[in-house]
Amino acid sequence: MSDLVVDMKSARKVFRRRRCDKPVVALCDLSLAIPKGEILGLLGPNGAGKSTAIRMMSGLVTPTSGTILIGGYDVVEQRPEALSCVGVVLDRARTLYPRMTPWENIQYFGIMKGLRDTERLRIRAGEWLDFFNIAEVADRPVNDLSMGTKQKVSLAVALAAEPRVVLLDEPTVGLDVMSSLELRKAIKRMAHEEGCTVIMTTHQMDVAEDVCDRVCILNEGRVLALDTVRRLLDVFAFRAYTLTLAGSLTEEVRTALSGLGQVEVREKWLDGFGVSHSGYTVIDIDVPDERGFFDVMGVLELAAVGVESVTRREPCLESVFLKLAGEEDGSFRQPSYA
């Protein structure tokens, strides 16, 4: 038996609307092999197919083709066994009954999952309610709670049943900064301390960078990258520089630089104090490989532009994503990793 908790092979989803001449390929042959205790982020813009992937794993959407095994069980062929391993939290607390209290929701979903040991359920639920600091609202109707609290309740409900996999769709959307931080902490704890496998979608790259061990970047249903956050950042690390240059740049130099990579020019002029002609230009340049930096310096030397400072910009997942999306359009060269 494999130790993969989630094993998705070439999962594809095509939505066919009635009288719609063009079917929508929401997800195009997605394969994911996810071990115990990993936090995998599904990233991408709206319409990328993130929710469709989560819905397929949670049995809410049937794949058009491909297979999805959860805990070794096929989500379509062995649905009850597969889904008994899964806890799902949809965005904006849509997985809760709003008129029931958090505690009633926990009991209801526990019974639905076939949990007979109510004492254990009570203890586990109590631990998570305490962890989220929401024990005092456990007997209030969910409707009366803030969105952040509802989202924590949704997680406590899912976690009380001790799932092997938790599926989260946009868990931090609509949360204030504090609630978002607490939720991220909880997600890390349930994966790294409890060994729960977490698959979460987000379009917030900073959240993914903070929380995820590995990310799958999707665009229009296709995978742009599937790698650890660290490796993705490393691959792009040597490419981004900020240069401060003396004076302004001629059109010729700008054109030459644009041919070497993605360039953003910010001119800064000092005014007042009788300094009419002193100024400097800051450029952010992203070159496609290590050689690119030396090419940039060559252009500047040839044009006798003074270089006052050079700094390497720390890459962030957001810039990695934008570059990968740019490469899709053919506006940037392919990265050098597989």
Ligand X SMILES: Nc1ncnc2c1ncn2[C@@H]1O[C@H](COP(=O)(O)OP(=O)(O)O)[C@@H](O)[C@H]1O
Interface residue list for ligand X (CB under 6 A):
15, 17, 24, 26, 44, 46-52
Residue 132: name the closest of 88, 171, 84 by CA: 171
Question: What span, in angstroms and rounded, lies between the C-alpha atoms of 196 and 190?
Answer: 6
Shortest CB 44 distance to Mg ion, Å: 9
> Which is nearer to ligand X, 61 or 187 (by Cβ)?
61
How many alpha carbons fall within 13 Å on the CB side of residue 318? Answer: 8
Shortest CB 154 distance to ligand X, Å: 18
Shortest CB 6 distance to ligand X, Å: 17
Select the residue interacting with Mg ion from 51, 197, 262, 281 (CB under 5 A): 51
Shortest CB 63 distance to ligand X, Å: 13
Shortest CB 150 distance to Mg ion, Å: 18
Closest residue to Mg ion, Cβ-based?
51
Shortest CB 1 distance to ligand X, Å: 31
Which of the listed partners (Mg ion, ligand X, none) does 48 bind, with a CB threshold of 5 to 8 Å by partner kind?
ligand X
Which of the listed partners (ligand X, Mg ion, none) does 15 bind, with a CB threshold of 5 to 8 Å by partner kind?
ligand X
Residue 164: name the closest of 57, 249, 311, 289 by CA: 57
Shortest CB 184 distance to Mg ion, Å: 19
Which of the listed partners (Mg ion, ligand X, none) does 44 bind, with a CB threshold of 5 to 8 Å by partner kind?
ligand X
Which of the listed partners (ligand X, Mg ion, none) does 47 bind, with a CB threshold of 5 to 8 Å by partner kind?
ligand X
52 binding Mg ion? (CB under 5 A):
no
Which residue type is seen at 114? G
Whether 282 and 244 have beta carbons less than 8 Å apart is answered as: yes
Stretch that binds Mg ion, among 18-26, 44-52, 127-135, 139-147 (CB under 5 A): 44-52
Which of the listed partners (Mg ion, ligand X, none) does 337 bind, with a CB threshold of 5 to 8 Å by partner kind?
none
Residue 208, number of CB atoms within 10 A of its CB = 25
Question: What span, in angstroms and rounded, lies between the C-alpha atoms of 331 and 333?
Answer: 7
> Which is nearer to ligand X, 26 or 57 (by Cβ)?
26
DSSP string, 56-68: HHTTSS--SEEEE
Residue 193, number of CB atoms within 10 A of its CB = 9
Which of the listed partners (Mg ion, ligand X, none) does 141 bind, with a CB threshold of 5 to 8 Å by partner kind?
none
The residues, any chain, with a CB within 8 Å of residue 270's CB and separated by 6 or more, are 278, 279
The dihedral built from the CA positions of residue 267, 270, 275 and 279, taken in this order, carries a sign that is: negative
> Which is nearer to ligand X, 147 or 173 (by Cβ)?
173
Question: What span, in angstroms and rounded, lies between the C-alpha atoms of 56 and 59?
Answer: 5
**What is the layout of strands, in order, in the sheet containing 307-312?**
262-269, 279-286, 240-246, 307-312
Which of the listed partners (Mg ion, ligand X, none) does 323 bind, with a CB threshold of 5 to 8 Å by partner kind?
none
Residue 226 pairs in a beta bridge with 216
Q: How many amino acids of this chain bind Mg ion (CB under 5 A)? A: 1
How many alpha carbons fall within 13 Å on the CB side of residue 243? Answer: 23
Shortest CB 51 distance to Mg ion, Å: 3
Whether 163 and 174 have beta carbons less than 8 Å apart is answered as: no
> Which is nearer to Mg ion, 51 or 107 (by Cβ)?
51
Binding site for Mg ion (CB under 5 A): 51
